[in-house]
Amino acid sequence: MKSVDRMSGSEEGSGTPDLDRNAAFWPEDDEEIEAGYMHLGSEDSGGKRGNGKSRQDCSDSSGSEGPSPSRKQSRPKRKGSNVSANGGSGRRRKSGISARERNLRRLESNERERMRMHSLNDAFEQLREVIPHVKMERKLSKIETLTLAKNYIMALTNVICEMRGEEKPYTFLDVDCGSNSNNSSGEQGPEEDMVEPNNNSLFQENLEHRTLTETASIPLHDM
């Protein structure tokens, strides 16, 4: 497939990718913000990665609902969502906060988010290391990692149940099952027999390596 490894480069190298650039972009005073707060990115100097993204429709969203670019509309509101959490005016101006301060807050927030994602990636990496899978050139993608982990857990559960003389709660389907679209996208009770091909290529891969998963008893014995 693809080399996910390449990401490691950007991951590490990211550091603080664009603090300076962003800082430079942000307007210096509230006046400018009044005019173009949601404007950022309009001419975002095209940084290399993501950051350079233009927040296209933000500009014209200056409308009443505040930061409501089209992309937000599809998102379901969470409980207790007050449509205008920002006060209803649409402008997210907090009284007494200067543009510079907002800028700073945003940059800090970005940094935290970056760190959060990095820790998430670390967790994925640790998960990859404990999931038995056939060696591959590339490393497992996130979705593959999660799917394999799930299958691995199911296989181990089967082993445990078998050792207890109980019935296996999970059944691993055969290759043909690829055709059955039984799965309701991840809705499965513990009772249901499953191994849903939610990721086709991976699923096939899983089937190829099913013996490996089903011999999950091997690592189990080691415990």
Partner DNA sequence: TAGGCCATCTGGTCCT
Partner DNA sequence: AGGACCAGATGGCCTA
- Which one-letter amino acid corresponds to residue 152? Y
Residue written as tokens 């290399």? 48
Could you say which of 100, 114, 150, 210 contacts DNA (CB under 7 A)? 114
Q: Does 81 bind DNA (CB under 7 A)?
A: yes
Q: Does 110 bind DNA (CB under 7 A)?
A: yes
How many other C-beta atoms lie within 10 A of the C-beta of residue 140?
Answer: 21
d(CA 139, CA 213): 18
d(CA 156, CA 218): 10
Q: Does 109 bind DNA (CB under 7 A)?
A: yes
Contact 154, 146 (CB under 8 A): no
Q: Does 33 bind DNA (CB under 7 A)?
A: no
Q: Does 77 bind DNA (CB under 7 A)?
A: yes
The piece of 106-114, 150-158, 169-177, 206-214 that touches DNA (CB under 7 A) is 106-114
- Binders of DNA among residues 139 to 198 (CB under 7 A) are 141-144
- Which one-letter amino acid corresponds to residue 211? T
How many other C-beta atoms lie within 10 A of the C-beta of residue 101?
Answer: 11
Q: Using CB under 7 A as the criterion, which residues of the chain lie in contact with DNA when the complex forms?
A: 1-4, 6-7, 10-11, 14, 17-18, 22, 38, 40-41, 46, 48-58, 66-72, 74-75, 77-83, 85-86, 92, 105-106, 108-114, 116-118, 121, 141-144, 199
